[in-house]
């Protein structure tokens, strides 16, 4: 039987008054060392996530409720996402690279070096409708052997945010003034990008405008964390930002106001919206994975050119 705990929605602003969902959170799995990077596959109706110190990816089957190992070893995988072709994109901290798992199960290395230097330890990743892959590259995976393989930064300690065009292999820095860039998410129209900086004091989220050329401008502080540090980010179809924090998931309106929280018993690392209606919230927290259905829907992002729905 799936373990359940009461769902605690904390209303901090009237704009959160009617945002809620199930009365209970389901704990789909526990016993990991540190869960991260949930990615939901609509076609397969399953969830994949990382158990970083145990060097494995796990998989939950929505139709049966079974949990099993998707991949071991995983390169101490952290963040995961799905591209518009339904393929898994993974940040491998230990291998210091970003990879794509093809439909036949083979793994393609998308990026492992910038200007001849090894990446630090890619952390989290999102894909834009134009096919470009955007990822953060802090140094958590090379600090020690706990979440990766202890090593030196070949960027002199700098931690960048990158944009990769997998069609050409072009990899470029789009932000170079972060302490430890972490979670990131596009606004529904993909004209703005939110990026968490975990080790700033206080930890905060910045918001950038995305130019037609795929560069970032702006970068003002959008929100600050009032409990621990921000980690993973997601955006719903109304443009609200949902952020992982130590006491749960924080919800910010588009003006940066903290309007409410979903409180959890374990420190939250990341989250994603899934299910046929994108209203099934999956949360990686501490040693566990939690889920509940909510009264909001994850952002429906633009489709690649030539694939728009009729």
User: Is residue 36 a known part of a binding site?
Assistant: yes
User: Is residue 62 a known part of a binding site?
Assistant: no
User: Is residue 120 a known part of a binding site?
Assistant: no
User: Is residue 55 a known part of a binding site?
Assistant: no
Compute the chain's Rg from CA coordinates. 18
* Beta-carbon count within 10 A of 194 CB: 23
What is the tally of helices (H) and strands (E) in the chain? 1, 28
Residue 301 CB contacts under 8 Å (≥ 6 apart), including other chains: 129, 186, 188, 190
Residue with tokens 């259905």: 293
- Residue 8's closest CA among 292, 262, 283, 289? 262
Distance CA 290, CA 269 (A): 11
Euclidean distance between the first and the last CA atom of the chain, given in angstroms as a whole number:
42
Respond yes or no: is residue 231 known to be catalytic: yes
Active-site entry in 55, 137, 231, 236:
231
Annotated binding site for substrate: 123
Residues flagged as binding site: 36, 123, 182, 231
Residue numbering of the annotated binding site for a divalent metal cation: 36, 182, 231
User: Which residues belong to the active site?
Assistant: 231
């Amino acid at each position: 039987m799936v373990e359940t705990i009461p769902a605690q929605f904390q209303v901090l602003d009237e704009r959160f008054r009617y945002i809620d969902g199930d009365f209970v959170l389901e704990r789909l799995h526990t016993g990991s060392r540190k869960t991260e990077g949930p990615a939901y596959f609509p076609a397969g109706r399953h969830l994949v996530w990382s158990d970083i110190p145990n060097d494995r990816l796990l998989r939950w089957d929505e139709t049966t409720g079974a949990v099993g190992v998707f991949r071991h070893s995983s390169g101490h995988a952290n963040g995961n996402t799905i591209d518009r072709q339904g393929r898994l994109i993974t940040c491998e901290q230990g291998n210091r690279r970003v990879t794509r798992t093809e439909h036949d199960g083979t793994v393609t290395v998308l990026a492992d070096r910038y200007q001849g230097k090894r990446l630090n330890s890619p952390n989290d990743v999102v894909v834009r409708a134009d096919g470009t892959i955007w990822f953060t590259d802090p140094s958590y995976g090379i600090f020690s052997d706990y979440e990766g393989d202890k090593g030196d930064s070949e960027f002199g300690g700098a931690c960048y945010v990158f944009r990769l065009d997998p069609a050409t292999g072009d990899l470029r820095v789009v932000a170079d003034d972060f302490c430890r860039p972490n979670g990131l998410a596009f606004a529904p129209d993909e004209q703005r990008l939110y990026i968490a900086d975990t080790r700033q004091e206080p930890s905060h989220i910045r918001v950038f405008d995305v130019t037609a050329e795929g560069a970032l401008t702006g970068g003002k502080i959008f929100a600050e964390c009032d409990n621990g540090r921000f980690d993973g980010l997601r955006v719903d179809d109304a443009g609200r930002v949902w952020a992982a924090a130590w006491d749960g998931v924080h919800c910010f309106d588009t003006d940066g106001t903290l309007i409410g929280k979903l409180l959890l018993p374990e420190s939250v690392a990341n989250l994603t919206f899934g299910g046929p209606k994108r209203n099934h919230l999956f949360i990686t927290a501490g040693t566990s994975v939690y889920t509940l259905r909510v009264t909001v829907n994850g952002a429906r992002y633009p489709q690649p050119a030539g694939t728009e729905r009729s």
